[in-house]
Structures are given as structure tokens and as C-alpha cells.
Amino acid sequence: MTHSGADVAALLSANGLRPSRALGQNFVADPNTVRRIARLAGAGSGSQILEFGAGLGSLTLALAETGAKVLAVELDRYLLPVLRSVAEPVGVEVIEGDAMTLDLSGLLSEHGGGSWSLVANLPYNVATPLVFRTLVEVPAVQSLLVMVQREVGERMAASVGNPAYGSVSVRIAYFAQAAVVGRVPATVFIPRPRVESVLVRMDRLPVPAVDPAVVSYQRLAAVVKAGFGQRRKMLRRSLAGVVNPEAFDRAGIRPDARAEELTVEEWGRLAQ
């Protein structure tokens, strides 16, 4: 059984805890929501789930309920005793640490290797860096289902022609196919945030969208960031000094095109 709103409030009160604004803590307090997240993530018997920011364990319990193997990472030392008390009895292993600095590949290897899924309610201030860290550094994670601020999630999943399409969209498309798969109302959180949230699912491509032997992610990211850094300018101006002028002809890209017009494959040709 996972936590209701009353359960979350009682756990906080009984342990003298308050959500940390500095850590971006907004606890999900609705069993239907966390079970929907577990379902959309494909959690079930035989699956291996890595959770960041497990908090009081609302989502953790829903994931464990499916029969999945769950590793729950939590940074807040004040929450850890509560998380352990609710999660460890149902077979979850709780890891104390910062998801931005832990050796995640080593951690997953130590716990059986194979393919993993990341499932997380991500703090708004670190959501994008955590997603990129996972995509770039942890190839064992084959899918991600993350709850993030609506604007952030729309940027993650946007494609050419969408107003939200930008540098984040292209760099995620290098690694994965992304889509917004659900919305989450502010009313299911304690405390209630001032922003809307969405669920974004990312499935890692069998190989990156641009051949890494030809163009590394680091090179692609540098070119894409430069192009979108001055997105109102034509690419020949925003990319001056980043790509050679003759690269446009070789890549079949118009020099007067703007950043939001290029697909990830076209960015790859230009970066090459």
C-alpha cells in the first residue's frame, strides 16, 4: 500500500519533518497517481527500477507493489530513516547519496547489471541535468519515466515545429525517443507547487540518432547550444566560429535557416 495525503502528513508530523524548499521537495500524496506512474514506466516482475529522490516513499511503494526490483536513492539525511522504515520491509534497497555525484553505472552493476529503468519525481531545479547525466553516463538505463515541471517536460519531448523545441529537445533526441505521456495536477502534492507537472517517457534508441563515431555527443551539444543560444539569428551568424562556413553546403543546410528548423540528424550533419 502506498501513501495517501493523510499518510504523508502524518509521517511528516510524527518525525518532525518539513519539506525542504532548497531540495525542491514536493511529495506525491495520491495512490492513483503513483500507481499510474509505475504502470506507464512498465514496472513489473522481472524489471529493475532506479528511483531518484525517493523522499517518503510514495512512488517507491507503488513501484515495489508491481514486483519490480527497486533501488531508491535519497539525499536528505532527515528523510532517510522514514524512507527506510516504509521501503525496506517490502524489499526496496535504499541508497543514501546525491544522484548527481553517485557512481550510478557502478551502482547498477553491483546490483545485478542488465537493463534498468529510471523512474522519478524530479526536483524542478535539477531535472534536466539529472536526465542528461543518466542518458550520457548510464547506458544501462534503457528507459526513463520522469515527473517534471510542465514547461521542462514539453521542452524534453518537443520536435521540429513545436514552439517548445530547443537545445534540450535536440540533445535528448540524440539518445532517446521522448514523449509527454501524462499530466499531474498540483493537488496531488504536499506542499502544493505553483507549477503544473507532466510525465515524460524516454526510450533509449538502439544507437544514437547521430553516429557517435562520426560526431560525438559533446561536439553535437556544443554546436546545438551555440545555435539555440541566439535562436532568432540565422545559423550562419549564430554558429560563426563554431562551424566553418562551407559546412552548410556539405551538410545540405541553408545558412539562413534558424535553429528551430533543424532535426537532430541535420544538426549532426552540421556538427560533422
pLDDT digits (tens, 9 = 90+) for 185-195: 999 999 888 88
Which triple of cell numbers denotes residue 219?
561536439
Judging by DSSP bridges, how do beta strands 189-190 and 27-28 pair with one another? Answer: antiparallel
- Ranges of each domain in the chain: 5-204, 217-271
CATH of 5-204, one of 3.40.1010.20, 3.40.50.150, 3.30.1490.20, 3.40.50.1700: 3.40.50.150
pLDDT tops 90 at residue 13: no
Range 234-241 contact pairs with CB under 8 angstroms and sequence separation of 24 or more:
234/258, 235/259, 235/262, 235/270, 239/270
Distance CA 207, CA 162 (A): 25
Whether residue 71 contacts residue 107, with contact meaning beta carbons closer than 8 Å, is answered with: yes
pLDDT tens per residue across span 147-182:
999 999 999 999 999 999 999 999 999 999 999 999
pLDDT > 90: percent of the chain: 82
Which residue has 526513463 as its cell numbers? 144
- At 245, give phi and psi (nearest 5°): -55, -35
pLDDT of residue 193: 86
pLDDT of residue 271: 93
pLDDT of residue 2: 83
pLDDT of residue 18: 82
pLDDT of residue 196: 92
DSSP bridge pairs for 200: 146, 180
pLDDT tens per residue across span 80-137:
999 999 999 999 999 999 999 999 999 999 999 999 999 999 988 899 999 999 999 9
Mean pLDDT computed over 221-226: 96
The domain 217-271 having CATH identifier 3.40.50.300: the answer here is no
Listed in sequence order, the residues at least 6 apart from 26 whose beta carbon sits closer than 8 Å to its beta carbon are 19, 121, 189, 190, 191, 192, 193
| Model confidence band, residue 7 (pLDDT cutoffs 50, 70, 90) | confident
Judging by DSSP bridges, how do beta strands 189-190 and 116-121 pair with one another? Answer: unpaired
Domains 5-204 and 217-271 share a fold: no
